[in-house]
Structure 1
């Protein structure tokens, strides 16, 4: 274990360490390392010593699921793009040329799905409020500027564009007063979700500056923190110098009468195994906070029912609440990671059938699409036509929540935009065709 009592002991690895890690840990040859580095010019890479030393089985690389979770793979991008970028690196092309080529590839990867830069941005008057999203009436998302990185990056992350150093693709704010002012103007807002990046990359003093002002807002009944820290750096709650102060802040939130919910991302059962994770979870739960778990269904990492059933049972035993199985979003290397919706439903159903009712708090498979969170409830046949049965868990239009609708069965569909309506000429979230004069 790499934790040092009384010190943070955190060591990050970034792109500049990638070649050495692949050579020393994985034993990759020069060409294989070069092609991985080529992918890393497009998609961000960051990990840390805990993940490298405690979670990855290097004897099973490149098939090890945790390795695939954090290290770029050469087939994440089209072969022609990888070869072009690799050749630029091999020939020591000017940095400006390599960056331009990488940016060209990035722009073809839908860096901001679901209208993140425009459709969700709240306004006070005509002025947009930076670093915030307000997609559903009751919930505001806030992106603290100091939380726009993570202890390690997931290769499937739908917010990868936040981490590549392009200012036009980032959204974040340090203006807590704007957040509070916006909420006061919107009495329908009852929940704030801090997200990023990872808010738990912030130290206690900075996190407190964002959280404490919300405790004086009677309309807010819950504060959520989206984080991968329990999987990637449990020492944040156990051995970091400000771990105790952070837990005291959580207790303060709970004492104020608000629910504090950890939205913890666990992508694979191995992330639950280290003793430090159990200690961190117990300490968080002892503050009165809840821990809800979620992750996307990712091909080559967790795309089988037994993995999910084991993960949900273990989470429940540790006191956490299984919450969501997501569908991989339509961004980044989606072609590499996506599981067809029909297969995703079967995986969810088969896993769901293996667990007790205590784990059946989980919902999915769910797509966080532009009109809302769409759940695939099943595949059935109606009037001789095979169809997907779907419903909105959340929606921009609250009238759509919980109402079933149907799509033609398509075994290759991986996202909502791949589907076509059944028994209607449009989906309920689509505008009606204009009436001819």
Structure 2
């Protein structure tokens, strides 16, 4: 099934998502960064609220032309850790394969926004993949392989199955992980055949679903997630803390409960990476810490994600969460959800 996708400012204007006054101001944004918004997702936007959580994530804004000091086209240092084209080896026991540069929808805050889009090429070539598989084969310390992009589920089911089969043949690769927005942005692509393509009887398969607001979980998205879980694929979440999208305790709580209610274990809540033109989405770390502490005080432990930052340059991830443990002189104390401080016996 072909789902129409809005791919230009003119198309967004025709759909009523961009005003006549705003459209001319977006020409430079359109020239710089890819646009794609599937019509089913566009229909979910609350047109009475220009700051609707879905609209804000996917409809371009003139604020994207505001480039700040410290922002970078490669904010997490992919390039310096790429020994083979299309592969990133940042941590000793795992590698990341950028399987394709295209996405079903282009997020306005994407940390790879200067690396993705139709003009960047559709996918890795067969020769690229063979070089990557040779690298994985030659490095027995690689325990986990992560498929990303772009969105790796833009690949055909046949191509996804081929990648699964090649990776599960390496005895040292015990985990295959796919990072995708597809279940919430194009759930129609999550078919039983695609689920079979991702599943493995030899290797643990995880799929990280990227969503940032509970409203992304339509009935079709929920069905897509449950289909994947039914194929034995473990589902985890990843989200980005975004101003005007999920920067309240209520919105974050609703999002984490939405994940959990469809069998997705909340995993990562990312502090926004410093990609060009994304400062209008940035939530200060101190505010993020307060929000995550409030989540810990109000939600089940199953529903609380790790609040993390990718240190610029590709050093590593760092936890940003406030600790409930503090040292007082020669003793330790812990904070309770009631705000009280209690001595810790050791």
Q: TM-score range by the shorter chain?
A: 0.7 to 0.9
Deviations 1:155-174 (A, max 9, x none): 1110111225776x999554
Q: 1:292 aligns with which of 228, 236, 246?
A: 236
Shift of 1:366: 3.2
CA distance in 2, matches of 1:151, 1:290: 22
Unaligned runs of 5+ in 1: 1-7, 79-104, 123-128, 238-242, 385-437
Residue of structure 1 equivalent to 2:303? 359
Name which structure has the greater RCO, CA cutoff 8 Å, separation 6+. 2
Unaligned runs of 5+ in 2: 330-346
Residue of structure 2 equivalent to 1:22? 13
Distance 1:170 1:374, change over 3 A: farther
Distance 1:353 1:107, change over 3 A: closer
Q: 2:290 aligns with which of 333, 339, 346?
A: 346
What is the correspondence of 1:13-412 to structure 2 with a 5 Å cutoff?
Answer: 13-15=6-8, 18-26=9-17, 28-29=19-20, 31-53=21-43, 55-60=44-49, 62-78=50-66, 109-117=71-79, 119-122=80-83, 129-144=84-99, 147-163=100-116, 172=124, 174=126, 175-237=128-190, 243-251=191-199, 253=200, 255-256=201-202, 258-272=203-217, 274-360=218-304, 362-369=305-312, 370-378=314-322
Aligned to 2:55, the other structure's residue is in SS state: helix
Deviations 1:341-400 (A, max 9, x none): 11111111112322112223x21143353210011132899899xxxxxxxxxxxxxxxx
Aligned to 1:41, the other structure's residue is in SS state: helix
Does the CA contact (< 8 Å) of 1:162 and 1:171 recur in 2? Answer: no
Distance 1:312 1:143, change over 3 A: same
* Larger Rg over CA atoms: 1
Does the CA contact (< 8 Å) of 1:131 and 1:171 recur in 2? Answer: no
Paired residues, number = 326
CA distance in 1, matches of 2:68, 2:87: 24
- Root-mean-square deviation (CA, aligned residues, Å) is 2.6
Aligned to 1:231, the other structure's residue is in SS state: helix
Does the CA contact (< 8 Å) of 1:324 and 1:366 recur in 2? Answer: no
Distance 1:179 1:378, change over 3 A: same
Distance 1:235 1:265, change over 3 A: same
Q: Is 1:12–2:5 an aligned residue pair?
A: yes
CA distance in 2, matches of 1:136, 1:357: 27
CA distance in 2, matches of 1:204, 1:305: 38
Aligned to 1:214, the other structure's residue is in SS state: helix
Normalization by structure 2: what TM-score?
A: 0.87
Does the CA contact (< 8 Å) of 1:344 and 1:365 recur in 2? Answer: no
Shift of 1:207: 1.4
CA distance in 2, matches of 1:195, 1:349: 30
Aligned to 2:133, the other structure's residue is in SS state: helix
Question: Where has structure 1 moved over 3 Å in runs of 4 or more?
Answer: 105-109, 164-167, 169-174, 365-369, 379-384
Aligned to 2:236, the other structure's residue is in SS state: strand
Shift of 1:318: 1.1
